[in-house]
Amino acid sequence: MTKRAPLTPQTGYLVAAALDYRDLPAATFLAFYQPLLGAAALNLLAALKSQLAPQPLLVNRQRVSTLLVQLNCGLPDLTRALERLEGLDLVKTFQQTGDTGVTLVLELQSPLAPAAFLEDDLLAVLLLQQVGADRFDQLAGLARQYVFDTSQLTQVSRDFFSVFTPDETPRPAEDQAIQKARKSLPRPVHQERAVADGDFDFAFFLRQADSLGVAEAQLRPAHDLVIAEHQLYGADEFQLATLAAQATDLASNRFDRQRFEQLVAAAYRQPASVANQPAGDEETAGMTGPMRQLVAVATKTPVIAFLNQLKQQAGGFATPNEQRTLTSIATNSDLPPAAINILAWYLLAEQGMDNLSAGLANSIASSWQAAGVDSATAALRQIERHQQKQAARLKQGSTAGKHRYSRKPVIKEKLPDWAKQGAKKAPTAVSAESTAKAKRLLAELKQQDKEEQEREGGKHRGSN
């Protein structure tokens, strides 16, 4: 996947819409998408919609700086908001680099209708974890609020040709007009959200579920849901088959996807025990024993279970917000679960945080994705590089500060001769005339003082 150039205030952008773009009523959209988007991404989407204009052309592009002013946010917040819109398939971003710099075409996509939203395995699981089982049930009811079960009725709708009678006379001009119109429309590219099996044996899961009474035909359409639950919680084939049987109505033999999601979420709120095995990855060469052990555990442990282990070792428990943060990163980013585990370890164990900060975790995840982190080992290398850069900056700042404060001030003014080091003031000569005058003044002061004392003595004798 080609990486998007980092956003800068000078990056150009143009807002367009997909050929089949349509919007949902505001209340419906907010009910399903707002819990996953967050305030910043929701504000960005509203801003992009307001800038959608007919016949968009690159010459009419704007600069990202206008978005920053409109949203009153910084580049990191804007980048994360755009990534969330991309992760939820609400925006597709196309990039062009030319003489004028980087230009992005932000193509608005149609949000999924409630029923289609709940049919998307990853979105349904993420929404359930975000809002909880009670609210999820309410949203499922909202999706079917106008639906009537017609499975037991007979459809009697008229078909097209029973209502309309097209003129089959060939008209070359009309055919050319239709062909011209069709060629002018871009071909939409539909990209399905793929969920790889990885180490999960889906065929074995189906056999286990069949032995418990669940028909294979009921579970095959739920392939992506089952794999997503395995990746998030680490449940194995037999465990998920057991929960699938519990989520199947025995009377109708119908598999209830929503019930299955709730059962898995409830069953795996507690931490799973994972054996600590040494890592055998060649990329860990040069790492210490504990770091190799960390890589092995992070690679083999599901995200939620790893988080629970970290919190349990610290004497606490994983909060719903922390679980939602890591689940969101797992769903919306390209980082593998092992790298997300290292991210959780770095913040909670290495940095000593009491709780996982959603903003910091998303910021680090975004930078790791941009750096191409694709494994637990690569995540640790990225942490090491960050710490080396940080140490270098601190050292550089310390050295600069040392020179700055130890440097003596330079006095540029010319000092008077008497202030110069070693300068001595010459003694002043006293004339004989000045000395004789001073002696006379001193003698006169003494005589006046003697006369004053004799007068005071005569007054005391007279009074007696």
Q: Are residues 261 and 287 in the same domain?
A: no
Q: What value does the mean pLDDT take over residues 279-305?
A: 70
190 domain-assigned: no
148: Cα within 13 Å, side-chain hemisphere: 3
CA separation for the pair 94, 105 (Å, rounded): 5
Contact residues for 47 (Cβ-Cβ < 8 A; gap 6+) = 67, 70, 71
Quote the pLDDT of residue 111.
Answer: 93
Q: Are residues 219 and 287 in the same domain?
A: no
156: Cα within 13 Å, side-chain hemisphere: 2
Q: Are residues 312 and 238 in the same domain?
A: no
361 domain-assigned: yes
Q: What value does the mean pLDDT take over residues 159-175?
A: 67
CA separation for the pair 172, 26 (Å, rounded): 45
User: Three-state DSSP class for 396?
Assistant: helix
CA separation for the pair 124, 260 (Å, rounded): 11
Q: Are residues 237 and 312 in the same domain?
A: no
Q: Which residue has the higher pLDDT, 284 or 166?
A: 166
| E strands, 99-205, in order | 101-108
CA separation for the pair 75, 356 (Å, rounded): 22
Q: Are residues 97 and 21 in the same domain?
A: yes
Dihedrals phi, psi of 249, to nearest 5 degrees: -75, 115
**Contact (Cβ atoms closer than 8 angstroms) between residue 62 and residue 13:** yes
164 domain-assigned: no
pLDDT tens-digit readout, 23-45: 888 888 999 999 999 899 999 99
pLDDT tens-digit readout, 351-396: 888 888 888 898 899 889 888 888 888 888 888 888 887 777 776 6
373 domain-assigned: yes
Final residue belonging to a domain, choices 374, 390, 406: 390
- Which CATH number do you get for residue 31? 1.10.10
Q: How many structural domains are present in the chain? A: 3
Q: How big is the CA angle at 167 (ends 165 and 170), to the nearest 5 degrees?
A: 155
Q: Are residues 258 and 319 in the same domain?
A: no
Quote the pLDDT of residue 420.
Answer: 37
Quote the pLDDT of residue 425.
Answer: 42
**Contact (Cβ atoms closer than 8 angstroms) between residue 107 and residue 91:** yes
Quote the pLDDT of residue 422.
Answer: 43
Amino acid at 11: T
* DSSP string across 304-356: HHHHHHHHHHTT----HHHHHHHHHHHHHSS--HHHHHHHHHIIIIIS--SS-
| Mean pLDDT rounded to a whole number for the chain | 77
Range of the domain at 26: 12-111
431 domain-assigned: no
Contact residues for 406 (Cβ-Cβ < 8 A; gap 6+) = none
- Give percent helix, percent strand, percent coil of the chain, each to the nearest 5: 60, 5, 35
User: Three-state DSSP class for 136?
Assistant: helix
Final residue belonging to a domain, choices 63, 85, 111: 111
Q: Are residues 312 and 212 in the same domain?
A: no
Distances (CA, A) of 39 to 28, 30, 71: 16, 11, 11
User: Which of these, 39, 86, 34, lies nearest to 332 by C-alpha position?
Assistant: 86
Q: Are residues 377 and 309 in the same domain?
A: yes
pLDDT tens-digit readout, 205-232: 888 888 778 888 888 888 888 887 887 7
Lowest mean pLDDT among 164-178, 190-204, 251-265, 425-439: 425-439
Contact residues for 38 (Cβ-Cβ < 8 A; gap 6+) = 81, 84
Q: Which residue has the higher pLDDT, 285 or 297?
A: 297
Q: How big is the CA angle at 122 (ends 20 and 217), to the nearest 5 degrees?
A: 95
For the sheet with 101-108, list strands across it.
62-63, 12-17, 101-108, 91-98
453 falls in which pLDDT band (50, 70, 90)? low
Q: Are residues 238 and 321 in the same domain?
A: no
Final residue belonging to a domain, choices 390, 424, 453: 390
pLDDT above 90 covers a percentage of the chain that reads 17
Q: Are residues 260 and 354 in the same domain?
A: no
440 domain-assigned: no
User: Which of these, 362, 199, 228, lies nearest to 303 by C-alpha position?
Assistant: 228
Q: Which residue has the higher pLDDT, 93 or 330?
A: 93
436 domain-assigned: no
Q: Are residues 361 and 301 in the same domain?
A: yes
pLDDT tens-digit readout, 60-116: 899 999 999 999 999 999 999 999 999 899 999 999 988 778 999 999 999 999 988
Give me the residues paired with residue 248 across strands: 255
Q: What value does the mean pLDDT take over residues 10-29?
A: 90
289 falls in which pLDDT band (50, 70, 90)? low
Q: What value does the mean pLDDT take over residues 160-174?
A: 67
Give me the residues paired with residue 108 across strands: 17, 91
459 falls in which pLDDT band (50, 70, 90)? low
**Contact (Cβ atoms closer than 8 angstroms) between residue 307 and residue 318:** yes
Q: Are residues 311 and 384 in the same domain?
A: yes
248 domain-assigned: yes
